[in-house]
């Protein structure tokens, strides 16, 4: 593919969510919107290299795709009602980066993340319709066959149409709950990329970038929702450390990471968002997780970490959302404050025997207590419970350092 | 507007209610919910069904219809009753379903009708 085609496809992907959302609002049909957007891309690939890229490529694509959709509806005379609707709607909405068109994307993200759709379908639809990823890209990122992913998306779109899942921002009474559903999808996309092990496709790692981009869109649409700011901060502060999390195919723990390798710009932006959240004083799960990451990224060395603050913050999450995983994380901070024995007593009470991090945490605490035999068993259990190659390498090395 | 089937499913072989009193209260709450549906204009049709052992299955696909005592599929969970409603979208239908579920003390499946 030549450079200009690559550049056009990049713009297309960047604008895809906006174009499709606007067309879905106008025509009330996702398939019509997607087909029209693809046709507009073909026209762009033909015209832009000759005429030059238009000053507002998003507006150009939306207008061109809109005309293509009307052409198609006229040509195929899909259904009378739709035909008439297309005739009646003469869309004068100017394409601008703010205002009504932005609201279209917000409507569409609530449709894609509707609780009546299976979680995996929500993730796939969000990446497809708002992220502009292709079906093969999404299939590759989630390690499933392309036909499986295509079916998943087709079925979800059929349900949206058949069950009449609306394109709208939920009512005020439902907004908080539905928004947390949207954020859960974005965080899942982020973690799929963040936790991807070494040697896997680059597409998987790109999911973190995609999740951040979509969360930025969500934040621009809902600037007064502190949890959205918290989620963005959490992603930025995690992403900042991602390159340092692994060396030579082995996981590098937070304590051992080269802090000079952390991305200072992302950290600065994340810290600013956390400060904004603190000023708003409407804490929530993502904001507190972001604050914990802010404490870690504020410490010049691992030894400078304010563990008391971290233990307190995990305690705050536990108050909102009591979960054994939160308690496990709090125990890690307690180990630094009150010693491994106190922490181990907490960890041993948690019902997490199938969770690799529980075994890994126990193994580390037992190692620090000099209980080598038990530590070795715990490392074995942790290694058996994880699929992640880098993590297995790390755990195996740690296991090898045990005495006896 | 879309029409939705709101069907109520429950165990076939155990009583649906904890007590006589609970049953009366559920009936009263459901009647109240039905009134609300009618007033709002969402009502199309609704009804509770007799127990599954009163079902008869007819197979008319062959030369002569074959009549059998009992349900089409033996199942632990059976259809106990249903509403057919008309709603602007799935969100509205899900709200009605949540309210109906609470009233009748049963889980409700929401399924759209094909548009005609």
In the DSSP assignment, the letter for residue A246 is: E
In the DSSP assignment, the letter for residue A305 is: -
Mean pLDDT of A339-365: 95
Q: Comparing A78 with B57, which gets the higher pLDDT?
A: B57
A116 and B112: CB-CB below 8 Å? no
CA dist., res. A393 & res. A131, Å (int) = 34
Residues in chain A whose Cβ is within 8 Å of chain B: 114, 116, 162-166, 168, 170-171, 174
Per-residue pLDDT of A41-57, as tens digits, reads 999 999 999 999 999 99
State yes or no: pLDDT of A188 exceeds 60.
yes
Per mean pLDDT, which range of A87-91, A221-225, A247-251, A379-383 is the poorest?
A: A87-91
Mean pLDDT of A373-380: 96
| List of chain A residues whose C-beta atoms are within 8 Å of the C-beta of residue B2 | 163-164
pLDDT score for A206: 82
| Both structure tokens of B82 | 């249903």
Average pLDDT for chain B = 93
Average pLDDT for chain A = 89
pLDDT score for A78: 55
Cβ contact A22:A93 at 8 Å: yes
A164 and B94: CB-CB below 8 Å? no
Q: What band does A101 get if pLDDT is binned at 50, 70 and 90?
A: very low
A166 and B2: CB-CB below 8 Å? no
Mean pLDDT of A193-209: 70
pLDDT score for A97: 46
pLDDT score for A88: 52
Q: In chain B, whose CA is at the least distance from the CA of A162?
A: B112
pLDDT score for A204: 73
Looking at residue B36, which CATH number applies to its domain? 3.30.70.1060
| List of chain A residues whose C-beta atoms are within 8 Å of the C-beta of residue B112 | 162-164
Mean pLDDT of B5-25: 88
Q: Is the pTM of this model over 0.95?
A: no
Q: How far is A29 from chain B (nearest CA, A)?
A: 14
Q: Please give the share of chain B, as a percent, with pLDDT higher than 70.
A: 100
B90 and A116: CB-CB below 8 Å? yes
- DSSP structure string for A158-202: HHHHHTT---SPPPHHHHHHHHHHHHHHHHHHHHHHHTPPTTS-H
B112 and A163: CB-CB below 8 Å? yes
Q: In chain A, whose CA is at the least distance from the CA of B114?
A: A162
pLDDT score for B84: 98
Give the number of domains in chain B. 1
Per-residue pLDDT of B42-80, as tens digits, reads 999 999 999 898 999 999 999 999 999 999 988 888 999
| List of chain A residues whose C-beta atoms are within 8 Å of the C-beta of residue B111 | 163
Q: How far is A170 from chain B (nearest CA, A)?
A: 8
pLDDT score for A98: 42
Element holding B46 (H helix, E strand): strand B43-48
Q: How far is B108 from chain A (nearest CA, A)?
A: 13
B94 and A165: CB-CB below 8 Å? no
Q: Which residues span the domain enclosing B106?
A: 2-112
pLDDT score for B102: 96
A116 and B88: CB-CB below 8 Å? no
Q: Which of B3, B6, B86, B90 to mutate to test the interface with A (most CBs of A within 10 A)?
A: B90
Cβ contact A236:A260 at 8 Å: no
Per DSSP, the three-state class of B61 is: coil
Per-residue pLDDT of A316-334, as tens digits, reads 999 998 899 999 999 999 9
- DSSP structure string for A248-266: TTEE--GGGS-GGGS-HHH
Mean pLDDT of A344-353: 96
CA dist., res. A59 & res. A65, Å (int) = 10
CA dist., res. B86 & res. A356, Å (int) = 49
The b-or-e profile of A109-128 (16+ CB within 10 A means b, else e) is: bbbbbbebbeeebbbbbbbb
Q: Please give the share of chain A, as a percent, with pLDDT higher than 70.
A: 91
Q: How far is A288 from chain B (nearest CA, A)?
A: 31
B2 and A163: CB-CB below 8 Å? yes
Q: What band does A73 get if pLDDT is binned at 50, 70 and 90?
A: confident
């Amino acid at each position: 593919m030549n450079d200009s085609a690559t550049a056009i496809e990049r713009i297309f992907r960047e604008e895809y969510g906006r174009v499709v959302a606007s067309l879905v609002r106008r025509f009330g049909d996702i398939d019509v919107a997607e087909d029209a957007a693809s046709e507009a891309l073909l026209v762009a690939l033909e015209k832009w290299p000759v005429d030059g890229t238009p000053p507002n490529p998003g507006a150009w694509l939306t207008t061109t795709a809109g005309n293509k959709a009307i052409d198609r509806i006229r040509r195929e005379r899909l259904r009378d009602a739709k035909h008439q609707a297309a005739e009646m709607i003469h869309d004068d909405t100017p394409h601008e980066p703010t205002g009504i068109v932005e609201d279209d994307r917000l409507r569409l993200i609530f449709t894609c993340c509707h609780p009546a759709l299976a979680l995996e379908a929500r993730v796939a639809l969000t990446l497809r319709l708002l992220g502009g990823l292709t079906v093969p890209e999404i299939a590759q990122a989630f390690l499933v066959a392309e036909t499986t992913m295509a079916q998943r998306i087709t079925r979800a779109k059929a349900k949206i149409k058949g069950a009449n899942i609306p394109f709208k921002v939920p009512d005020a009474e439902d907004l908080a709950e539905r928004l947390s559903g949207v954020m859960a999808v974005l965080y899942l996309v982020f973690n799929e990329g963040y936790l991807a092990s070494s040697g896997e496709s680059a597409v998987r790692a790109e999911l973190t970038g995609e999740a951040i981009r979509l969360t930025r869109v969500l934040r621009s649409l809902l600037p007064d929702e502190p949890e959205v700011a918290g989620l963005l901060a959490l992603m930025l502060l995690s992403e900042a450390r991602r390159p340092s999390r692994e060396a030579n195919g082995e996981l590098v723990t937070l304590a051992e990471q080269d802090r000079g390798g952390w991305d200072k710009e992302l950290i600065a932006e994340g810290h600013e968002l956390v400060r904004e959240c603190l000023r708003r004083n409407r804490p929530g799960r993502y904001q507190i997780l972001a604050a914990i990451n802010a404490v870690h990224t504020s410490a010049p060395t691992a030894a400078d970490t304010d563990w008391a603050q971290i233990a307190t913050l995990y305690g705050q999450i536990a108050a909102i959302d009591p979960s054994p995983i939160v308690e496990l994380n709090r125990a890690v901070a307690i180990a630094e404050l009150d010693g491994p024995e106190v922490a181990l007593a907490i960890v041993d009470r948690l019902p997490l025997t199938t969770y690799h991090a529980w075994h890994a945490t126990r193994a580390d605490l037992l190692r620090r207590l000099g209980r080598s035999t038990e530590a070795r068993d715990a490392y074995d259990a942790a290694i058996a419970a994880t699929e992640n190659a880098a993590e297995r390498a790390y755990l195996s090395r740690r296991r090898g350092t045990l005495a006896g | 507007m879309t029409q939705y089937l709101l069907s109520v499913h429950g165990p076939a072989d155990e009583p649906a209610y904890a007590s006589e009193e609970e049953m009366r209260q559920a009936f009263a709450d459901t009647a109240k919910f039905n009134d609300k549906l009618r007033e709002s204009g969402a009502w199309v049709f609704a009804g509770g069904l007799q127990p599954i052992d009163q079902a008869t299955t007819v197979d008319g696909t062959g030369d002569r219809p074959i009549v059998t005592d009992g349900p089409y599929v033996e199942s632990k969970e059976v259809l106990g009753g249903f509403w057919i409603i008309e709603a602007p979208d799935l969100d509205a239908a899900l709200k009605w379903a949540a309210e109906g579920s609470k009233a009748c003390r049963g889980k409700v499946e929401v399924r759209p009708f094909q548009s005609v």
